[in-house]
Amino acid sequence: MKAACLFGLVVGCATAPPPEQPVEQPVLEEVRSAVELMQRARTAPEDKAAVLYLDAAQQYLAAEDLAGARAALDSVEPGLLDPRRLIGYRLVTASLALAEGEPDLASDALSRLPRSALDSPEAAHLRSEVCAARQDYECALTEIVRFAGDDPGENELIWRWLNASASLSPGIGAVRPSSRILADWQELHHALVTAYSLEDAKTRATVWLAAHPDHPASVLPPAAVSTITAYRPTRLHVGLVVPLSGPLARAGEAVRDGFIAAALLAGATGRLDLTIYDAAAEPLPVIYERLLTDRVQLIVGPLQKDAVVELNSLNPELPTLALNYLDRNTAPAAGLQQVGLAIEDEARTIAHRLQKDDVERVLLFHNYEDWSLRARTTLVDRAEAGGQMQLTVQPFTDVRTVTEAVGSAMHVAESQARRDQLAAALGEALEFLPRAREDVDGVVALIGNSEANALVPALRFHFADQLPIYASSQVTRSSRQGQLNELRGFHVSELPFFLAGDPLYGSMATPLNLDRNPFASLVALGSDAFRLSERIQVGGEVADLPMLGSSGLLRREPDGRISRELAWGMISSRGVVAEPGARL
């Protein structure tokens, strides 16, 4: 529903027959009407002009002509409007402010409504949009659910806010149900997001709908729910393109094993035709011609970044799920989607957690490995774009420099220098206890296990051991329990594969030695590649539904990239365990 459609009952529409327009230059009816209203307003008495300008603003807004709507609304003298029209003016003002990306101005306009209009469906709808613009989905859902139920557009909006609110962060951003109806909406959404396959999702949706026949989601289901309940699996021929020889063979085998294991677990082998191509055995253009000859319906792969770039340059006519990412400045071919294990996803997960935990003044420690530098860049960019997080960035050259680096970041050296200056001025030695800075809320550690083990005593030495520490998964990779003891209490971004009771992990942990397997994360990627292939086959709103995968909470972005939000673990005496209060 367009925001401007909210005001028909409140504002009313003053329209006139539109002038003739040439066929080759079509103009929306709302714009023709708005132009005539503006013309009439310029010669009308002041009180009637205010009404005409307001009606013109509404017409422009309906046509999504924001410049026209702004010009018309700025011409309204609100003091000349009667009480009913003044309500309409406030609603149009709020709607236009939202369309212009100004939620604070929209909120101000809504706050000026009289008490009689504050609780109207129109005002509640706009308050919901204001809350969503601020990423406060608890508020957004609470506002809209109170009045939704008989309008499919409203139910689609509820579903959109539920999609946006889905998160793996423990106990933060969670939407607390304000009513039984909202709790039931959340139950349905959770069931579908966490379903292992589309068959599983269909079963869960069918059971839920039968148990809630009078719920708005049953009466007027969102499109994604309708598509899932109508799902009929069909055969799919997948071409899996991964390296199975050469230096990357073990990586390709891990992806292959994860893909096949996920298909077996989903019971999909009877409807899946899988042809596997060794990406290292022959040139990619040759493989692509074979894919076409073999009548593959969906390409999954390749795995290497340069191969993804090469395949994209071939402009593949087949739908493709690449297992790595193009650079952001490279336009993907039509039908090319991308998923991978980018460290940038971990950095964004950490940034989101810092924001939700209100950790604004951060010490960021990194080393000079490529993954750490890329994660640092992502966090710095997020801090600069948001303007709220203040980063002190400190590199580690090697383990031997950790204590010195922490002291520098904590400004202990500056405290020592001030002592030396004062002692020189007084001409005598001074008893001195160095003081570390107190304007720090938390620590981010983009470092490996050995560096993390050196970081903890260095923080303790510099009076910073009580700060919460947020770390990427590299602090735990391939580490033994004894190497984690010093890190107890670390908050670690981690693949749900290792934390969330993933059924595939449970079945493959022992045969593939996943706890110690350096390629375990690629098994998780292969699992997600199969599950995403089902959704790509169905497409539409189902492809836009978040999915709790083995490698993260997955979302399809407008450019075809699949973003990942990782889960959160905490290092304890038992190793890395799911953090208390973790969602989904």
Residue 552, domain CATH? 3.40.50.2300
User: In angstroms, rounded to a whole number, what is the distance separating the alpha carbons of residues 257 and 513?
Assistant: 13
Q: Are 366 and 514 in a shared domain?
A: no
Burial of 205 (0-12, 13-18, 19+ CB in 10 A): buried
In terms of domains, do 432 and 536 share one?
A: no
Pairing of strands 491-494, 469-471: parallel
Measure the CA–CA gap between 302 and 322, rounded to whole angstroms: 6
Residues 332 and 463 grouped into a single domain: no
Taking residue 550's Cβ as centre, other Cβ atoms within 10 Å add up to 27
Which pTM does this prediction carry? 0.84
- Asked whether residue 168 is domain-assigned, the answer is no
Look at residue 142 and tell me if it is in a domain: no
Whether residues 394 and 489 fall in one domain: yes
With respect to residue 543, please indicate whether it lies within any of the assigned structural domains.
Answer: yes
Flag whether 561 is in a domain. Answer: yes
What range does the domain containing 354 cover? 344-500+570-578
Within this chain, do residues 313 and 348 fall inside the same structural domain, yes or no? no
Separation CA 122–CA 20 (nearest Å): 34
244 and 393 in a common domain: no
Residues 357 and 496 in one domain: yes
Single residue among 113, 134, 155 that ends a domain in this structure: 134
Q: Which residue has the tokens 């590649």?
A: 529
Q: Which two tokens stand for residue 307?
A: 């191969």
Q: Of 90, 112, 134, which one is at a domain's C-terminal end?
A: 134
Q: What angle, rounded to 10 degrees, do the helices at 29-43 and 46-62 form?
A: 160
What interhelical angle do 449-461 and 402-409 show, nearest 10? 50
Residues 348 and 463 grouped into a single domain: yes
Digitized pLDDT (tens) for each residue of the chain, 584 residues in all: 344 333 333 333 333 444 444 434 444 576 778 899 999 999 999 999 999 999 999 999 999 999 999 999 999 999 999 999 999 999 999 999 999 999 999 999 999 999 889 888 889 999 999 999 998 998 999 888 887 766 778 899 999 999 999 988 765 445 566 688 999 999 999 999 999 999 999 999 999 999 999 999 999 999 999 999 999 999 999 999 999 999 999 999 999 999 999 999 999 988 999 999 999 999 999 999 999 999 999 999 999 999 999 999 999 999 999 999 999 899 999 999 999 999 999 999 999 999 889 999 899 999 999 999 999 999 999 988 877 788 889 888 877 767 777 767 665 555 455 445 544 555 555 444 444 456 788 999 999 988 998 888 888 877 677 889 999 999 987 666 667 888 989 999 999 999 867 889 988 888 888 877 889 999 999 999 999 999 999 998 898 899 999 999 999 998 889 999 999 999 988 888 888 766 65
